[in-house]
Structure 1
Amino acid sequence: MTVEAVSLNRKDPVEAEEVEEKLGEIKLYKIRWVIIGIFVLYAAVSAVQWVQYSIITNIIVRYYGVTSIAVDWTSMISMITYPPLLLPGSYMIDRIGLRYCALIGVVGTAIGTWIKMFSVQPHLFILGFTGQTIVFSSQIFILSLPPKIASIWFGPNEVSTACSIGVFGTQLGTALSFILPPLIVRNHDNLDDIGRDLSYLFYGVGAVITPIVILVFIFFKSEPALPPSIAQAKLRLNKSEFTNKEFLNSYKSLLTNKAFMVLSFAYGMNIGVFAAVCTMLNQFILTYFPNAERDAGIIGLLLVVIGMVGVVVFGVILDKTKKFKEVTIALYVMTTLGIIAFMIALETYSKVLVYISACGLGFFQNAYYAVGFEFGVELSFPQPESTSSGLLICMAQICGVIYTILLGEFLARFGAFWALSLMAFFLSVGTLVTVIIPNRLLRQEALGLTGEKKTFLPKNKNRRH
Structure 2
Amino acid sequence: MVSMDEDPSAREFLTTYNGAKITPIANRDKSLLSEKDVEKTRKAEEDATGAKIELKVYKRRWLQLGLFFIYALSNDPHWTQFSSIGKTISRYYSVSPTTVSWTSSILQVTYVVMIMPVCCMIDRVGLRWACLIGSIGISIGSWIIFWSLSPDRFVTVVLGQLVITFSQVFSLTGPVKLVALWFGPNQVATATSIAFFGGPLGIGLSFFVTRMILRNHDNVEDIGRELSPVFLSAAAFSTVVTIALFLFFQDEPLVPPSRATALQVTHSKVEDTRFWSTVKRVMTNKSFFAVWNTYGMGYGLFSTMCYMLNPYFLDHFENGEEDVGRLGILVVIAGYFCSFTFGIILDKTKQFKELGVFIYIFLLVGEILFAVGLRMEIRWLMLTGFMIFGLFAASYGSLGFELVGEVVYPELEDAYAGLLMFGNQLYGGIFSVIISSLLRNYGEIVVHGFAIAVLSLGLATSGFTEIELKRQNVEKHPNEGYNVDTPLKPLKS
Would you call these one fold, judging by a TM-score over 0.5?
A: yes
Q: Secondary structure at the match of 1:409?
A: helix
Return the alpha-carbon distance in structure 2 between the equivalents of residues 457 and 442 of structure 1. 6
> What amino acid does structure 2 have at the position aligned with 1:352?
W
Classify 1:406/1:200 alpha carbon distance in 2 versus 1 (closer, same or farther; 3 Å). Answer: farther
Alignment of 1:208-227 (within 5 A): 208-227=237-256
Return the alpha-carbon distance in structure 2 between the equivalents of residues 263 and 301 of structure 1. 29
Shift of the alpha carbon at 1:345? 1.7
Classify 1:454/1:411 alpha carbon distance in 2 versus 1 (closer, same or farther; 3 Å). Answer: farther
Structure-2 residue corresponding to 1:50: 79
> What amino acid does structure 1 have at the position aligned with 2:457?
V
Bigger shift: 377-386 or 403-412?
A: 403-412
> What amino acid does structure 1 have at the position aligned with 2:434?
L
Shift of the alpha carbon at 1:261? 1.0
Q: Secondary structure at the match of 2:268?
A: coil
Q: Is the 8 A contact 1:46 1:136 kept in 2?
A: no
Return the alpha-carbon distance in structure 2 between the equivalents of residues 205 and 161 of structure 1. 28
Shift of the alpha carbon at 1:20? 7.8
Q: How many residues align?
A: 442
Structure-2 residue corresponding to 1:462: none
Q: Is the 8 A contact 1:238 1:457 kept in 2?
A: no
Shift of the alpha carbon at 1:353? 2.6
User: Any unmatched runs of 5+ in structure 1?
Assistant: 1-14, 460-465
Bigger shift: 74-83 or 152-161?
A: 74-83
RMSD: 2.3
Structure-2 residue corresponding to 1:60: 89
Classify 1:458/1:323 alpha carbon distance in 2 versus 1 (closer, same or farther; 3 Å). Answer: closer
Task: Choose which of 150, 153, 166 in structure 2 pairs with 1:124.
Answer: 153
Alignment of 1:4-43 (within 5 A): 22=51, 24-43=53-72
Task: Choose which of 434, 443, 447 in structure 2 pairs with 1:415.
Answer: 443
Structure-2 residue corresponding to 1:317: 345
Task: Choose which of 90, 114, 132 in structure 2 pairs with 1:85.
Answer: 114
Shift of the alpha carbon at 1:449? 5.9
Return the alpha-carbon distance in structure 1 between the equivalents of residues 356 and 485 of structure 2. 33
Is 1:384 matched up with 2:412?
yes
Classify 1:457/1:434 alpha carbon distance in 2 versus 1 (closer, same or farther; 3 Å). Answer: closer
Note the alpha carbon deviations across 1:267-319, whole angstroms, 9 max, x for none: 11111111111112221121112332221111122222221112101111110
Classify 1:245/1:385 alpha carbon distance in 2 versus 1 (closer, same or farther; 3 Å). Answer: closer
User: Any unmatched runs of 5+ in structure 2?
Assistant: 1-12, 14-45, 487-493
> What amino acid does structure 2 have at the position aligned with 1:75?
S
Return the alpha-carbon distance in structure 2 between the equivalents of residues 87 and 262 of structure 1. 20
Classify 1:149/1:18 alpha carbon distance in 2 versus 1 (closer, same or farther; 3 Å). Answer: closer
Is 1:405 matched up with 2:412?
no
Task: Choose which of 354, 358, 368 in structure 1 pairs with 2:396.
Answer: 368
Classify 1:192/1:415 alpha carbon distance in 2 versus 1 (closer, same or farther; 3 Å). Answer: farther
Classify 1:378/1:296 alpha carbon distance in 2 versus 1 (closer, same or farther; 3 Å). Answer: same
Alignment of 1:145-294 (within 5 A): 145-240=174-269, 246-294=274-322
Shift of the alpha carbon at 1:341? 1.0
Shift of the alpha carbon at 1:387? 1.5
Classify 1:422/1:457 alpha carbon distance in 2 versus 1 (closer, same or farther; 3 Å). Answer: closer
> What amino acid does structure 2 have at the position aligned with 1:151?
A
Quote the sequence identity (%). 37
Structure-1 residue corresponding to 2:384: 356
Bigger shift: 131-140 or 380-389?
A: 131-140
Classify 1:297/1:420 alpha carbon distance in 2 versus 1 (closer, same or farther; 3 Å). Answer: farther
Return the alpha-carbon distance in structure 1 between the equivalents of residues 421 and 209 of structure 2. 26
> What amino acid does structure 1 have at the position aligned with 2:65?
I
Q: Secondary structure at the match of 2:252?
A: coil
Bigger shift: 368-377 or 347-356?
A: 347-356
Shift of the alpha carbon at 1:67? 2.2
Note the alpha carbon deviations across 1:44-71, whole angstroms, 9 max, x for none: 1111122211122222222222222222
Return the alpha-carbon distance in structure 2 between the equivalents of residues 122 and 305 of structure 1. 34
Return the alpha-carbon distance in structure 2 between the equivalents of residues 287 and 458 of structure 1. 53
Return the alpha-carbon distance in structure 2 between the equivalents of residues 22 and 211 of structure 1. 45
Structure-1 residue corresponding to 2:491: none
Shift of the alpha carbon at 1:232? 1.2
> What amino acid does structure 1 have at the position aligned with 2:155?
I
Return the alpha-carbon distance in structure 2 between the equivalents of residues 23 and 213 of structure 1. 40
> What amino acid does structure 2 have at the position aligned with 1:356?
T
Runs ≥4 residues deviating over 6 A: none
Note the alpha carbon deviations across 1:159-186, whole angstroms, 9 max, x for none: 1111111001112112123323322221
Shift of the alpha carbon at 1:238? 4.2
Shift of the alpha carbon at 1:237? 3.7
Classify 1:92/1:284 alpha carbon distance in 2 versus 1 (closer, same or farther; 3 Å). Answer: same
> What amino acid does structure 1 have at the position aligned with 2:482?
T
Structure-2 residue corresponding to 1:7: none
> What amino acid does structure 1 have at the position aligned with 2:347?
D
Q: Is the 8 A contact 2:273 2:412 kept in 1?
A: no
Task: Choose which of 108, 124, 136 in structure 2 pairs with 1:107.
Answer: 136
Note the alpha carbon deviations across 1:208-227, whole angstroms, 9 max, x for none: 11111111001111111111
Return the alpha-carbon distance in structure 2 between the equivalents of residues 127 and 314 of structure 1. 42
Return the alpha-carbon distance in structure 2 between the equivalents of residues 387 and 23 of structure 1. 30
Note the alpha carbon deviations across 1:344-389, whole angstroms, 9 max, x for none: 1223333333332232122211001110110010111001122211
Return the alpha-carbon distance in structure 2 between the equivalents of residues 63 and 115 of structure 1. 17
Return the alpha-carbon distance in structure 2 between the equivalents of residues 426 and 129 of structure 1. 33
Point out the structure with max Rg over C-alpha.
Answer: 2
Structure-1 residue corresponding to 2:482: 455
Task: Choose which of 466, 483, 490 in structure 2 pairs with 1:438.
Answer: 466
Structure-1 residue corresponding to 2:361: 333
Bigger shift: 341-350 or 29-38?
A: 341-350
Q: Is the 8 A contact 1:86 1:140 kept in 2?
A: yes
Q: Is the 8 A contact 2:47 2:262 kept in 1?
A: no
> What amino acid does structure 2 have at the position aligned with 1:429?
L
Classify 1:414/1:23 alpha carbon distance in 2 versus 1 (closer, same or farther; 3 Å). Answer: farther
Shift of the alpha carbon at 1:74? 1.5
Return the alpha-carbon distance in structure 2 between the equivalents of residues 259 and 297 of structure 1. 38
> What amino acid does structure 2 have at the position aligned with 1:437?
T
Bigger shift: 330-339 or 128-137?
A: 128-137
Shift of the alpha carbon at 1:117? 0.7
